[in-house]
Structure 1
Amino acid sequence: MQLIPCVLMRGGTSKGPVFLASDLPVRSDERDEMLLDAMGSGHELEIDGIGGGSPQTSKVAIVSRSDHPDADVDYLFVQVMVSQRRVDTAPNCGNMLCAVGPFAIDQGLVQAQSGVTQVRIRNLNTGTFVCADVCTPDGKVTYEGDTAIDGVPGTAAPVGLTFLDAAGSKTGKLFPTGATVDWLGDVPVTCIDMAMPMMLVEAAQLGKTGSESPAELDADKDFLHKLETLRLRAGQLMGLGDVTDKVIPKPVLVAPAQAGGTLQVRYFMPHNCHTALAITGSIGLATACVTDGTVLERMLGQRHEKRLTTVKLEHPSGAIEVGLSYVGHNASIVRASVVRTARRLFSGSVHVPNAHRLAG
């Protein structure tokens, strides 16, 4: 057995081990196989590893010092599949991103300041940059505080995340198809790439209210088949090719708000409904709310002014607020910020086999 140092952390509504890149194999195939073994991938409970048996708890963050002048650290996100021995490094994860700043300071990659320490993060999955504001009273990270986020019990110290250049994270364009609405047969959708490539569709178009629980949606196999058919077509239109074995684009159902928010959403990962909402997803959804002609903007109609400064997105566990600011020429660039929390759960080493089952 090999011992690999790691820190198990909760980031937002996700959880997983955080590794220093220097503690993992350099070759990506060897690294990925080691992560599959560490997490116990290939079993629905991940019983033979430290994964949690759910896409939200089968995530990995890999962190290293950055050589980019605009970043302090580099962050690679790895989505480890639960029942399949496969990983995906195409998307970013904004929830695990919440843990990167505190981890970087705790590990000595970034010097803590008194009060709040800003950590400049380059996401290697997408090449985008995020600033994390981490609470560091007395020059040390604190995880205790009064900030509550829906989907996580209790309170903790806030971690502020500002996405600096999230448009076109994987495709190079905010609207990869060149349109704010595309028709997939008789179903109008918005294909957007803002922090995360997504396909946004009104729930009513698929015979849903948008208020269904994740369990109800996951149990409706006919609905899931329709949603996946649309997602595959959207992936082709977005220039992502055959996305059958990819987790992007993420399909998202949108519906009128029920609890005073801006909209109600059901976010898929992509074949299971998220019990809350991905941070990267919230960034794209908020942007679509203030962009003329999208499915979301048309749903909102005259109920909201275009230049919203806050978008509140209702999800199965509560809601998340996204702050919006407008920069650049004629304030044409949307910049989004969220406040989340993180927690360091344990530090130690994970045991992995010496021999890896590399594919031929």
Structure 2
Amino acid sequence: MQDEQRSVRCTLMRGGTSKGLYFNAEDLPAPGPARDALLKALVGSEDLLQIDGLGGSRLVTAKLAIVGRSSRPDADVDYTYGIVPPGRGMVVFTSNCGNISSAVGPYAIDRGLVEATEPITQVRIFNTNTRKVLVAHVPVAGGRARVQGELAIPGVPGTGAEIFMEYSATTGAKTGQVFPTGRVVDRIELQDGRVIEATLGDVANPCAFVRAADVDCEGPVLQLPDKVDADPRLIELLKEIRGKAALLMGLASDWREAETQSPALPLMVVVAPPHDYQDAQGRKVRREDTDLQARLVFYNRCHESMAGTGSICIAAMSCVPGTIVQQAASGAAEGRLRIGHPLGAMEVVREMAKGGSELNPKFVRLGIRRTARRLMEGDAFYPATVLEAHQ
């Protein structure tokens, strides 16, 4: 009798404020239906709880990374990001994830894909989703990525070793342009006759930004994720805006079909000026410790903290006069942007280069400080029948 289950080697890692399965590309089938079926089975794609897979039933824990040595002269590893949204029966590869990206360097070092150099190993990462190169600056000791350190990031208990993720080369990540419409502010007409102003930007990942006051969710403190997700009127409004933004950015041919044509992008971000608030764990976040408030919605759910790529795009947009983001963060100091999100405040390093234009800005530095940790390594099992249809 043949074994009813098969297995593949994988590593469970926390990267920033997300968690996912990391695979060596050599251990998986080639890109295509067989690989998709395998990944959906491993994470669990058919039910909201992902009870028969390794996903954690939340978007931030239903992620994966495929990493392998790169043949490119400007990269050390190739990295493909994927997400298996709970209950949707799909695996999506259209975007990148900044948090999952932050553990790619440590994974590559620990698996021997990149030679460790003390005290910092620079890992050049070619993200296949956006076809852009990220650079991870990973602290190492004894030939392995360090874990212990002094950096605390909102949404993760304790402290860890600082990994600096450099995104200055990720402008025009999916559309090829920082401002795909050629404007820093667009006017989006809604079905109810209202017109909403939005900034449609593409750095690290395409994002659509709107003012909280314009979508009636400011009071003056932005709602926390549980209230956002429980407000069907707001979710439907943001879904319409996101769909029409996807059309304007060339990511969908019909705004009504954006849910299937481009389910991940653009990320939808609601912003507001800084204000005192209590985060999702009841901790006070002071106005003077942030430069703006932001809530990111993807797959029609509010992110529990802040997407790494979303924070990069927010920071990039904050540098450009006239954008919705810059208006909300008009008091931000040079060199950094502090984003107030549902689990506290995070800092993004930002420095524009001289010589760029308003619609095509360049950056000397654009990045975030993250931590990462290997949680488990071993064999992940899946039913043998999963791949039989693809043999």
TM-score by length of 2: 0.88
Out of 341-350 and 133-142, give the one that drifted further: 133-142
**Corresponding residue for 1:252?**
269
Question: What letter is aligned with 2:206?
Answer: P
- C-alpha displacement of 1:228: 0.4
- Looking at structure 1, the residues matched to 6 and 21 of structure 2 have their Cα atoms a distance apart, in angstroms, of 16
**Corresponding residue for 1:239?**
250
- C-alpha displacement of 1:114: 1.6
- C-alpha displacement of 1:98: 0.8
**Do structure 1's residue 323 and structure 2's residue 349 form an aligned pair?**
yes
- Looking at structure 2, the residues matched to 166 and 33 of structure 1 have their Cα atoms a distance apart, in angstroms, of 30
TM-score by length of 1: 0.96
- Give SS of 1:215's match: helix
- Looking at structure 1, the residues matched to 65 and 120 of structure 2 have their Cα atoms a distance apart, in angstroms, of 23
- Looking at structure 2, the residues matched to 226 and 114 of structure 1 have their Cα atoms a distance apart, in angstroms, of 50
- Where in structure 2 are the equivalents of 1:255-270 lying within 5 Å? 255-258=272-275, 259-260=287-288, 261-270=290-299
| Kept after mapping to 2: 8 A contact 1:64/1:75 | yes
- Looking at structure 1, the residues matched to 187 and 296 of structure 2 have their Cα atoms a distance apart, in angstroms, of 20
- Looking at structure 1, the residues matched to 332 and 52 of structure 2 have their Cα atoms a distance apart, in angstroms, of 50
| Kept after mapping to 2: 8 A contact 1:128/1:164 | no
**Residues 304, 320 of structure 1: alpha-carbon distance in 2 compared, 3 angstrom cutoff:** closer
- C-alpha displacement of 1:244: 1.4
Question: What letter is aligned with 2:337?
Answer: V
Between the aligned residues of both structures, percent identity stands at 39
**Do structure 1's residue 204 and structure 2's residue 213 form an aligned pair?**
yes
- C-alpha displacement of 1:251: 0.7
- Looking at structure 2, the residues matched to 163 and 190 of structure 1 have their Cα atoms a distance apart, in angstroms, of 20
- Give SS of 2:158's match: coil
**Corresponding residue for 1:76?**
80
Q: Could you report, residue by residue, the CA deviation over 1:152-194 in whole angstroms, capped at 9, with x for unpaired residues?
A: 0111111110013111111111011111111112110011111
Q: Could you report, residue by residue, the CA deviation over 1:259-318 in whole angstroms, capped at 9, with x for unpaired residues?
A: 2211100001131000100110001001111102211223344x357xx21000010001
- Looking at structure 2, the residues matched to 46 and 350 of structure 1 have their Cα atoms a distance apart, in angstroms, of 15
- Looking at structure 1, the residues matched to 222 and 209 of structure 2 have their Cα atoms a distance apart, in angstroms, of 16
Question: What letter is aligned with 2:326?
Answer: E
| Kept after mapping to 2: 8 A contact 1:129/1:164 | no
- Looking at structure 2, the residues matched to 141 and 123 of structure 1 have their Cα atoms a distance apart, in angstroms, of 20
**Do structure 1's residue 312 and structure 2's residue 338 form an aligned pair?**
yes
1:229 to 237, 240, 243: 240
- Give SS of 2:385's match: coil
| Kept after mapping to 1: 8 A contact 2:205/2:313 | yes
- After TM superposition, where is structure 1 displaced by more than 4 Å over at least 4 residues in a row? none
**Do structure 1's residue 131 and structure 2's residue 135 form an aligned pair?**
yes
**Residues 291, 29 of structure 1: alpha-carbon distance in 2 compared, 3 angstrom cutoff:** same
- C-alpha displacement of 1:146: 1.5
1:280 to 287, 298, 309: 309
**Corresponding residue for 1:97?**
101
**Do structure 1's residue 340 and structure 2's residue 355 form an aligned pair?**
no
| Kept after mapping to 2: 8 A contact 1:276/1:316 | yes
- Give SS of 2:138's match: strand
**Corresponding residue for 1:141?**
145
- C-alpha displacement of 1:27: 3.8
Q: Could you report, residue by residue, the CA deviation over 1:179-213 in whole angstroms, capped at 9, with x for unpaired residues?
A: 11111121100111111111100011011115211
2:200 to 179, 191, 194: 191
**Corresponding residue for 2:11?**
7
Question: What letter is aligned with 2:197?
Answer: P
**Corresponding residue for 1:111?**
115
| Kept after mapping to 2: 8 A contact 1:195/1:283 | yes
The alignment covers a number of residue pairs equal to: 356
Tell me the C-alpha RMSD between the 2 structures: 1.5
Question: What letter is aligned with 2:258?
Answer: V
- Looking at structure 2, the residues matched to 159 and 304 of structure 1 have their Cα atoms a distance apart, in angstroms, of 24
**Do structure 1's residue 19 and structure 2's residue 34 form an aligned pair?**
no
- Looking at structure 2, the residues matched to 299 and 44 of structure 1 have their Cα atoms a distance apart, in angstroms, of 35
Gaps of 5+ in 2: 190-194, 276-286
- C-alpha displacement of 1:105: 0.4
- Looking at structure 2, the residues matched to 262 and 300 of structure 1 have their Cα atoms a distance apart, in angstroms, of 5
- Looking at structure 1, the residues matched to 175 and 102 of structure 2 have their Cα atoms a distance apart, in angstroms, of 24
| Kept after mapping to 1: 8 A contact 2:179/2:202 | yes
**Corresponding residue for 1:181?**
185
- Looking at structure 2, the residues matched to 228 and 174 of structure 1 have their Cα atoms a distance apart, in angstroms, of 22
**Corresponding residue for 2:155?**
151
Question: What letter is aligned with 1:234?
Answer: A
| Kept after mapping to 2: 8 A contact 1:251/1:270 | no
Out of 349-358 and 12-21, give the one that drifted further: 349-358
Question: What letter is aligned with 1:317?
Answer: L
